[in-house]
């Protein structure tokens, strides 16, 4: 199972989600984290640790997603920290994914841009299958006009909007600064509880009820 975190810009929280998802799922599954970001932030995070509960490698592309020199590709779950701006690389990530989570922040055009990206990915997708897609919104837009518009657009295009939402909390930055997941750094915190709810909901995306990107190719 390959789960990717994608956005239409920088600073939406892809690396935070990818690193913490890999850490959380590694408690019960063999897990690999692939870094497809322009700044290789997940790899930089991993280099600061003496040991890791999961493998970390550079994402090489849709045709060779397990091309790596370190961890074994024999894993139960793979998480991809997606690129921020590189459209070709985003499409490669989507083509490699079983589940894709679009992380949205405050820009009103986020879903419109994401939908265009999905169209491109669907047209070029590999014949082996298509990602199931949903949207995750930052709590910074909860209750705002932008937040309401994002939900309407997701509904209009037939994609789920995850019920879980994320606050921007200082404890995330402090955990990342010392190369830990939030579950290692502050396991009893509101941030850990909130993020665990997100990850449980993302896990539910493996079920067939989520819309396939394959239905969006036309």
Q: What is the pLDDT of residues 26-77, one digit of tens each?
A: 999 899 999 998 888 899 888 888 788 898 999 986 554 444 434 445 888 8
Is residue 215 domain-resident? no
CA distance linking residue 32 with residue 115, whole number of Å? 28
pTM for this model (two decimals)? 0.81
In a domain, 144, yes or no: yes
Residue 199 contacts residue 25 (beta carbons within 8 Å): yes
Q: Answer yes or no: is 170 within a domain.
A: yes
What is the pLDDT at residue 215? Answer: 60
Our count of domains for the chain comes to 1
Q: Token pair for residue 80?
A: 């991809």
- CATH code at position 137: 3.40.50.300
In a domain, 146, yes or no: yes
Domain-embedded: residue 175: yes
Tens of pLDDT along 107-147?
Answer: 555 567 777 776 666 665 544 455 677 777 665 555 566 66
Domain hosting residue 155, numbered range: 2-206
User: Is residue 213, in this structure, part of any structural domain at all?
Assistant: no
């Amino acid at each position: 199972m390959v789960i990717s975190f994608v956005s239409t810009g920088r600073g939406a929280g892809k690396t935070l989600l990818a690193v913490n998802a890999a850490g959380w799922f590694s408690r019960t599954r063999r897990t690999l984290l692939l870094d497809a970001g322009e700044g290789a932030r997940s790899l930089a995070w991993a280099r600061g640790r003496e040991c890791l509960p999961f493998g970390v490698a550079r994402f090489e592309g849709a045709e060779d997603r397990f091309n790596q020199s370190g961890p074994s590709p024999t894993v139960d779950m793979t998480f991809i920290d997606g690129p921020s701006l590189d459209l070709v690389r985003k499409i490669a990530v989507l083509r490699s994914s079983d589940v894709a989570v679009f992380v949205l922040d405050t820009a009103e055009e986020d879903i419109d841009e994401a939908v265009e990206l999905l169209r491109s990915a669907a047209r070029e997708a590999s014949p082996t299958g298509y990602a199931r897609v949903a949207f995750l919104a930052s709590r910074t837009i909860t209750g705002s006009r932008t937040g309401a518009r994002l939900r309407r657009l997701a509904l209009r295009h037939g994609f789920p909007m995850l019920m879980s939402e994320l606050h921007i909390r200082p404890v995330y930055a402090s955990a990342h600064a010392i190369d830990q997941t939030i579950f290692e750094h502050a396991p009893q915190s509101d941030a850990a509880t909130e993020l665990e709810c997100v990850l449980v909901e993302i896990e539910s995306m493996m079920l067939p009820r989520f819309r396939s990107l394959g239905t969006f190719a036309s």
